[in-house]
């Protein structure tokens, strides 16, 4: 459809289409537990992909599988994250006391664990190349919009409130970021399930 989709817990709304070509596939919430004591809602997110790219890269192999078969195919999930498909994860900050320091450390934990998982090494240099984009003067107050945009050729662009702050070419980094949202152990299971279903329906069009 073309109506915006609201992430229910935060009330954050996501446009059905981003730019001219990215289609919304699923929305979810990134939480974080602090000292095991309480869970805070950090940001709401929406996962977008270019539908033509999805068809171009995945139709041949998966075009005649049912949504159920796709959902249960590990290959499909990996191919979705590894193909050169343009995808964007849009984050809207919900937590009102985010500091650059806490973003850096959360990032090192979440993305760092994926870099390790996919490459077998800690990739300190790659991790730092990304976090060095986070200048101390940036602020991410509640309502801020961050876009993590994977562009052709595995270039990851980071955009804050519409302004590009950096871009890094790395297939491993792109894979690791997507894994947070639509991989094996995603931040929000329902978002991942919706993405799988919506990709399946794109492939059946």
Kindly identify the residues of this chain, within the stretch 127-146, that bind ligand DAO according to CB under 6 A: 134, 138, 140, 146
Q: How far is CA 113 from CA 97, 116, 185, 191, in A?
A: 24, 5, 12, 21
Query: Nearest distance from residue 94's CB to ligand DAO, in Å?
Result: 10
DSSP state of 67: H
Nearer to ligand DAO, 74 or 163 (CB): 163
Nearer to ligand DAO, 105 or 201 (CB): 105
Nearer to ligand DAO, 16 or 106 (CB): 106
* Residue 181 interacts with ligand DAO (CB under 6 A): yes or no: no
Q: Site mask, ligand DAO, residues 15-54, x = CB under 6 A?
A: ---------------x-x-x-------xx-----------
Neighbours of 90 (CB within 10 A): 23
By CB under 6 A, name the one of 13, 73, 102, 116 that touches ligand DAO.
102
By CB under 6 A, name the one of 103, 168, 172, 202 that touches ligand DAO.
103
Give the Cα separation of 205 and 202 in Å (integer): 5
Nearer to ligand DAO, 41 or 79 (CB): 41
Q: Which residues contact 117 (CB under 8 A, 6 or more apart)?
A: 176, 179
Comparing C-alpha atoms, which of 110, 84, 109 is closest to residue 170? 84
Q: Are 188 and 182 in contact (CB under 8 A)?
A: no
Q: How deeply is 80 buried, as exposed, middle or buried, from its count of CB atoms within 10 A (0-12, 13-18, 19+)?
A: buried
Q: Is residue 109 within a helix (H) or strand (E), and if so which, with residue range?
A: helix 100-119
By CB under 6 A, name the one of 1, 3, 74, 97 that touches ligand DAO.
97
Chain residues in the site for ligand DAO (CB under 6 A): 30, 32, 34, 42-43, 91, 97-98, 100, 102-103, 106-107, 110-111, 134, 138, 140, 146, 148, 158, 160, 180
């Amino acid at each position: 459809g073309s109506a915006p989709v609201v992430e229910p817990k935060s009330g954050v709304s996501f446009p059905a289409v981003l730019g001219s070509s990215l289609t919304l596939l699923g929305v979810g919430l990134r939480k974080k537990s602090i000292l095991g004591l309480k869970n805070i809602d950090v940001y709401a997110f929406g996962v977008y992909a270019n539908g033509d790219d999805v068809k171009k890269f995945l139709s041949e192999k998966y075009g005649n599988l049912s949504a159920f078969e796709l959902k249960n195919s590990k290959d499909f999930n990996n191919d979705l994250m590894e193909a050169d498909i343009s995808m964007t994860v849009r984050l809207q900050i919900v937590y009102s006391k985010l500091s650059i320091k806490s973003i850096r450390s959360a990032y090192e934990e979440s993305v760092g664990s994926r870099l390790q998982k996919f490459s077998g090494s800690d990739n300190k240099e790659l991790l730092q190349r990304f976090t060095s984009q986070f200048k101390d003067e940036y602020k991410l107050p509640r309502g801020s919009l961050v876009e993590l945009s994977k562009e052709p050729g595995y270039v990851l662009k980071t955009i804050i409130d519409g302004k590009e702050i950096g871009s890094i070419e790395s297939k491993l980094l792109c894979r690791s970021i997507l894994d947070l949202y639509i991989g094996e152990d995603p931040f929000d299971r329902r978002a991942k399930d919706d993405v799988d279903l919506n990709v399946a329906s794109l492939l059946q069009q």
